[in-house]
Amino acid sequence: MITIINYGSGNLKSICNGFLKIGIPAEVTNDPAVIEDADALVLPGVGAFGSAMNHLEKYRTSISKFLQQEKPFLGVCLGLQLLLSKSEESPGVNGLDIIQGNIIRLPPGLKIPHMGWNKLELKNECPILDGVDQEYMYFVHSYYARPDDEDVVAATTQYGMDVPAVLWKDNIFATQFHPEKSGEVGLKILKNFVKLLD
């Protein structure tokens, strides 16, 4: 069973529909005990870093306990950014700090938010990108991840610079784009995530 964290800042219907399209029912919960015991966990997100972390703070321990079990975890869009240490969007607010690094505002001169279809550039082999090549994914964001360890960047996209598009560390996967809104290739990424349960 795929479990999606309902912490008040996620586009829950969209990500649930993505899993339903591939024939996988997803459970939506705000129960810390259910989060801790999930088979696979998804952290969606829209909106501002600080507000999201305020809502997510009470689940920090449950998420940590889940991750210690080395089961699959997927962060999507803001859900990726919350995994890092801090964000320029919300000074003084600590992220989950699961992947060390910062969230940085996209450079001046670019249209912000970055909204639309951009091509992936694969950097490392990554289980959720199995069978995915230089495909176009759907992005909506104004900030990007700058992890301390560049080796966790599995794919980037070009938007005035190399923007990390997929992060991967151990059992933790995260996409800056929305796989559930990225057509058949995006659904393939969700299928690859589900395969990690086998």
Residue 126 annotated in active site: no
Q: Using CA atoms, how far apart are residues 174 and 81, in angstroms rounded to an integer?
A: 9
89 given a catalytic annotation: no
Task: Name the active-site residue from 77, 114, 126, 141.
Answer: 77
Closest C-alpha among 28, 24, 2 to residue 13:
28
Q: Which residues contact 197 (CB under 8 A, 6 or more apart)?
A: 39, 40, 72
Catalytic residue among 36, 89, 135, 180: 180
One of 16, 126, 135, 178 is an active-site residue; which one?
178
Q: Look up 178 and say whether it is catalytic.
A: yes
Task: Look at residues 4, 42, 68 and name the one whose alpha carbon lies nearest to residue 189.
Answer: 42
For residues 88 and 49, is the Cβ–Cβ distance under 8 A?
no
Q: Which residues are catalytic?
A: 77, 178, 180
